[in-house]
Structure 1
Amino acid sequence: MLMFAVIIVVSGALTVGALWGLYGQLPNWLEGNLLALAGGALMISVVFELLQPAVIDSGVLIAGAFTLLGALVFSGVDYLIDEKLNAEGGTGLLAAITLDGVPENLALGVSLLSGNVMQVAALAGSILLSNLPEAAGGAKEMRKNGNSNKKVLMLWIGAAVLLSLAAILGKVFLKNVDDAIISAINCFAAGAVIASLATEVFPTAFKRGNHWAGISASIGLVLALALYQTQQLKLRPSTSS
């Protein structure tokens, strides 16, 4: 039940975000700062929910290697999309969300195996905060480039379905997989997310929110850090008993 609730919330954010971008009336500066806020929150989730456990289980060298691999794969495909396929604006952001979202949602599915509701909630919440404004901004740009509302919405719904399948696969097929493989998947996802933040999320946020985007990103990071700290405090009594 928790799995489907998380999938609906996280992947549904893409559809809701696309509807927001197509029919909403928020000014660009607000969308930019919301996107920066989400990016800042996602940084904390990447470090504490994906990288830190992997470093503990597999060591810095293995974690670092798969993180770099994830960043290389994302950056390479993103380069091909932008430079060779001439995908601009919202199409590039859609590709970015899909590329980093597949390993990201695989990692989310893996986190469901632990049964740790707070850990799942923290990771799912960060992904939700990131997906919503990214989808809104991407859908708006795609409409500006001459695509119909129906076509844009169908593309984002398709991405939501794909990411939902990734989360389900992570939950079902990685149930009895060795911890080292799970750590590698988490680090690959982390690398892809970090690359997408650097090349798609924060540049887009800066263009729309200007220099305020840096402040918004810091606020998002601090809020996510506070959420993580609250999670740790709630877990502490149970681990000591």
Structure 2
Amino acid sequence: MMTAIVVLIVSGALIIGALWGLYGNLSKRLEGFLVALAGGALLVSALLELIYPALEKNSVPIALSTVFVGAITFTVLDYWVKEKWNSQSGGGLLAAITLDGIPENLALGISLIGASPLSIAALSGSILLSNLPEAAGGAKEMAENTDSKKKILWLWIGTALILSAAAFLGHFLLADVSEEYLNYIKCFAGGAVAASLALEVFPKAFKEDKYWTGLATAIGLVLALYLNTLGE
């Protein structure tokens, strides 16, 4: 039950964000600030919840190599979708949006396996903060190129369902995997999250909010670190 609630709330943030972008008022600076804040929190969660456990219990060289493989995988896929596929088309745009969200949602599903409530809160809260402005900004930008807001909303609903499925698959398919291999899978997801932050989140935040991005990132980082200390 907890898994379903967390996944649905996080993915539902995409739909709420899309509604905000289509029918509400979201300034570029506020969007950039929120994206950077979420990026800082996600960076901490990726390090502490996904990568660090493997460094404590598993082979350090293998764990770090797996992080690198995760980053390479995301980078290659991101390049292929953005540069080789027409990301302005319906299918290409859906693929781009989905690719950006899969690492975080897969990591969320995996982290729900045997994690403490505060650890879950740290990661899911970071993803939720990331999903809201990302969906709002994306939907607003898409609305500038088409008159059908309903079609855009359905696109985001479809994306939310796909990412929910990724989280559920990550959770249920890997529930019986040994801790050693689960830690390596988390490292892979952590590397993919780190690459997505560098390629998608922080550049977008700086473009919209300039030098406030650094402060927003630090705020997100501090909040995530503080939440993590509560679980110790």
TM-score, normalization by structure 2: 0.91
Q: Say whether the 8 Å CA contact 1:38–1:129 is kept in structure 2.
A: yes
After TM superposition, give the deviation of residue 153 of structure 1 in Å: 1.4
1:108 aligns with 2:108: yes
Q: Say whether the 8 Å CA contact 1:103–1:186 is kept in structure 2.
A: no
CA–CA separation in structure 2 for the residues paired with 1:139 and 1:12: 14
Count the aligned residue pairs. 232
Instruction: Flag as ranges the 4+ runs of structure 1 deviating above 4 A.
Output: 90-97
Deviations 1:170-219 (A, max 9, x none): 22221211122211221111111111111111111111111111111111
Q: Identify the residue that residue 135 of structure 1 maps to in structure 2.
A: 135
Q: Say whether the 8 Å CA contact 2:16–2:132 is kept in structure 1.
A: yes
The 3 A distance-change label for structure 1 pair 60 and 37 is: same
Deviations 1:116-152 (A, max 9, x none): 2121111111111111111111111222233621222
After TM superposition, give the deviation of residue 115 of structure 1 in Å: 5.1
Moved more, 181-190 or 90-99: 90-99
Q: Identify the residue that residue 194 of structure 1 maps to in structure 2.
A: 194
1:67 aligns with 2:70: no
Deviations 1:82-115 (A, max 9, x none): 2222426x99886555225334323322322215
The 3 A distance-change label for structure 1 pair 129 and 79 is: same
Match of 1:61, as an amino acid? P
Q: Identify the residue that residue 235 of structure 1 maps to in structure 2.
A: none
The 3 A distance-change label for structure 1 pair 97 and 228 is: farther
The 3 A distance-change label for structure 1 pair 104 and 57 is: farther
Q: Say whether the 8 Å CA contact 2:82–2:96 is kept in structure 1.
A: no
Q: Say whether the 8 Å CA contact 2:21–2:137 is kept in structure 1.
A: yes
Partner of 1:145: helix, strand, or coil? coil
Partner of 1:113: helix, strand, or coil? coil
The 3 A distance-change label for structure 1 pair 65 and 124 is: same
The 3 A distance-change label for structure 1 pair 205 and 211 is: same
1:177 aligns with 2:177: yes
Unaligned stretches of 5+ residues in structure 1: 233-241
Q: Say whether the 8 Å CA contact 1:113–1:171 is kept in structure 2.
A: yes
Partner of 2:48: helix, strand, or coil? helix
Moved more, 182-191 or 104-113: 104-113
CA–CA separation in structure 2 for the residues paired with 1:177 and 1:118: 23
After TM superposition, give the deviation of residue 157 of structure 1 in Å: 1.2
CA–CA separation in structure 2 for the residues paired with 1:193 and 1:63: 15
Q: Identify the residue that residue 208 of structure 2 maps to in structure 1.
A: 208
After TM superposition, give the deviation of residue 47 of structure 1 in Å: 0.6
TM-score, normalization by structure 1: 0.88
Deviations 1:36-69 (A, max 9, x none): 1111111110110101112223222112112111
After TM superposition, give the deviation of residue 16 of structure 1 in Å: 0.9
Q: Say whether the 8 Å CA contact 1:78–1:92 is kept in structure 2.
A: no
Match of 1:81, as an amino acid? V
Q: Say whether the 8 Å CA contact 2:26–2:136 is kept in structure 1.
A: no
Partner of 2:15: helix, strand, or coil? helix
**RMSD between superposed Cα atoms in Å:** 2.2
